[in-house]
Structure 1
Amino acid sequence: MRHWIGALALTAGLLGLGQTAQAACTLGEAGTTRAVRMGPTQRTVQIHVPRDFDPAQAAPLVLLLHGSGGTGAAMLTSSKLADAADRHGFIVAAPDAGIPVERGFVWNVPGVPTITGAIPGPDDADDVAFLLAIADDLAAQGCADPARLYATGLSGGGRMTSWLGCVVADRFAAIAPVVGLRAGNPRKADPASPDPATCRPSRPMPVIAFAGDADQTNPIQGGGAPYWSYTMHAAEQRWAQLNGCAATRPTRWVSNTVYEEGYADCRDGAEVAGRITRDGGHSWVADNDAMWAFFAPRTRD
C-alpha cells in the first residue's frame, strides 16, 4: 500500500498553524470540539480538546473512526468518547473517511467493498496515510504525544482500525475495534479463517475489541457479508498468534451483561481482549472507560 504522506503537504496545517513545532499547543479552549480541515482535499476532522488540557504538555491521542456511510461529527456524538476524554485527559480526532457515499463516507480498506459494493481502487483515498498525517500534524504542533497514539472505530471504522494494526503497527500503541475486529481478509479458499498474508504487523499490537452477541451485520459467530465470514474469536486467536500470546485467559463476567475473553503472556505486553455485550447489536457497545484503562498504560517505544 502506498502511504503518500508527503503528497498531503498539509500546507495550511491544523487550524492554520502551519507545520512548524510550537512551544505550546494552541488547538483551542480546553473541553471544546471544533471542526478543522486538513490536506489538499480539505477533509474534515473533529478535534476534541479535553477538559483541563495543559497546552504545555503533549496529550495522548485517540483516532475515532466512524462506520460506513457515517461522519466524524456523528461518531463523536454517538460514541460519547469526548466525555471519556474529559475524564481522562486525551485528545480525540474524529475524521471523515476518504470515499464519499450517500450522505457520509467510507474507509478504504483494501479488498473490502464499500456499502455500494465497489472495491476501492488505486485512485481512491489513501486513508492510512491521511490518518497518520493527522497524528503527525498534531504531534508537530506539540499537542499530541506520538508515543501514545491509539485508534478505535465502529463497524467499518472498526475494520479500518484493525487494518491500521495490520499495516502500521509501528505507529500505534494499541487499538480497540468496536463491532469490527478483523485480523486480515478471509481466506479465499477457506473464508472461515483469516488470510495471514493480509495482516502482517511489524510488531505486537495490543488489542481490545468490543462486540454484541446479537449483531446481525458483523456477527461474532461469523458468516454475514463475504468480507466478514470468520468469527470474532478467530480474529482474537489470530491476533494472539501474531502477538505471541502464551496463555488463554478464563472468560469472566465484568458486569451483568458483559463478559470478557482473551489472551495473556504476550510479547511486549501486547494482550488481546474481547468484551461481548449480551443481546448487544450493531452499535457502539464499547465501555469507553474500560477502553481507556486498556490504552493508558501502553506506549509505543
Structure 2
Amino acid sequence: MLVLRLLIALSLCFCAAVAHAECRLGDVDALPDRASVYLPMPPAVEPMPLVILLHGSTGTGAEILRDSHLADTADRHGFVVIAPDGGIAAAHGFVWNIPGVPTVTGALPPKGARDDVAYLTGLANRLVATGCVDGTRIYVTGLSGGGRMASWLGCVAARRFAAIAPVVGLRAGRPLASDRTQADPATCRPEVPMPLLAFAGDADSTNPINGGGASYWQYAQSVALQRWAMLNGCSQPYARNLSATIYEQGYARCPDGAAVAARVTRGGQHSWSVVDNEAMWTFLSRHRR
C-alpha cells in the first residue's frame, strides 16, 4: 500500500512540477526493498522536505512509521518520511551499525556489515534525485538505537543533513575508552554545526538521562548536550519549564542558529511517547543545509 501510494504521489508530482526536476519513477524502483516511504497527499508542487525515521534496536522501519504517527504530521505539513531497516539482522528486526560500538546484542557490528552511514546518505540522495525531495531540507530522527544512529549521522555526515532530533538516544560520539561516562571527542567532529533537538523521559531505565544503562553506553544526556554545544559554538546554557510535565535543557547563542536542546518528559519512559511531533517538526523545519 505504501509503495502504491508513493507511485501515485510521485506521478502527481511529475505532472504538476513542470518548473522542477522530473520525478523519475525508475529511481524509486531502485530504492532498497526494506524501506517504508510515506508521501503526504496531495504532494506539493515544489520539492518537499524529507525526514528519515530510524527504528530502535531489533525493530523495523514499518513498526516505527506506525508507532511514531509521523505520517499524520507529514500530511499536515507536507514532508516525506522514509523509515528504512537497519543493516544488521537481530531478533525479530534489525540494528544499526555504529562502528566500534556494540549493538544491543552486546556484540560489535560484524565484519562486512552494511555501512549504514553510506546507506542512509545514499538513500537520501536517491530520493533527491527523484525531483520530489528538497536536498537542502533533509532531517533525521530515530528512537533509542535509532537515536544513537541519528546522532552518529550528525557527527560524521553533517553536510548532508540540516538538523537531527534523536529520541531517547542522544549521543555525541562513541564513549571514551578510558572512561565510558564521557564522550570521546575524537569520534564526533562534524564539518559544520549540527542543530539538534532531543527528546527523553526522566523515568527511562533503558537509557537513563543521568547516565548508566548498557555497559557500553554510560554517559549522561547532559554530557552529550555539552559536547554538541561546544561543537556548535553555543555560549549560553539554559533550563526552563515548558509545562507541568515537560522541561527543556539546552544551549543558546549559537552561530547560524545551530541550537542544542533536549526536552524531557517527567515520568517519561523509553518510547516515542516522550515526543511532541509538532514541536519536532517546528524545530526541524527552521533549518536548511
Q: Tell me if TM exceeds 0.5.
A: yes
Report the counterpart of residue 214 of structure 1 in structure 2: 203
Deviation at 1:118, TM superposition (A): 1.5
Which digits, 9 at most, give the CA deviation of each residue in 1:208-267, with x for residues without a partner?
A: 000000001110010111222010011000000000001112x22222211111101112
- The equivalences for 1:186-201 within 5 A come to 186-201=175-190
CA distance in 1, matches of 2:244, 2:72: 23
Mind listing any 5+ residue stretches in structure 2 that lack a counterpart? Answer: 1-5, 11-19
Deviation at 1:297, TM superposition (A): 1.4
Which digits, 9 at most, give the CA deviation of each residue in 1:252-299, with x for residues without a partner?
A: 222221111110111221100100000001001111100111111110
> What secondary structure, in the 3-state scheme, does the structure 2 residue paired with 1:159 have?
helix
Which digits, 9 at most, give the CA deviation of each residue in 1:186-213, with x for residues without a partner?
A: 1111221111011111110001000000
TM-score, structure 1 normalization: 0.86
Q: Which amino acid aligns with 1:248?
A: P
Report the counterpart of residue 91 of structure 2 in structure 1: 102
Maintained 8 Å contact 1:43/1:96: no
Q: Which amino acid aligns with 1:207?
A: L
Root mean square deviation of aligned Cα: 1.9
Determine if the alignment matches structure 1 residue 25 to structure 2 residue 23: yes
251-260 vs 56-65, which deviates more? 251-260
Determine if the alignment matches structure 1 residue 263 to structure 2 residue 263: no
Give 1:68's match in structure 2, choosing from 50, 57, 76. Answer: 57
Determine if the alignment matches structure 1 residue 182 to structure 2 residue 171: yes
Deviating beyond 3 angstroms after TM superposition, the runs of 4 or more aligned structure 1 residues are: 22-27, 36-39
Report the counterpart of residue 151 of structure 2 in structure 1: 162
TM-score, structure 2 normalization: 0.89
112-121 vs 132-141, which deviates more? 112-121
CA distance in 2, matches of 1:214, 1:37: 43
Report the counterpart of residue 87 of structure 1 in structure 2: 76
Mind listing any 5+ residue stretches in structure 1 that lack a counterpart? Answer: 1-13, 28-35
Deviation at 1:114, TM superposition (A): 2.0
- The structure where helix makes up a greater share of residues is 2
CA distance in 2, matches of 1:116, 1:261: 31
Maintained 8 Å contact 1:176/1:209: yes
CA distance in 1, matches of 2:49, 2:196: 17
Deviation at 1:53, TM superposition (A): 1.5
CA distance in 2, matches of 1:275, 1:37: 38
Q: How many residues align?
A: 271
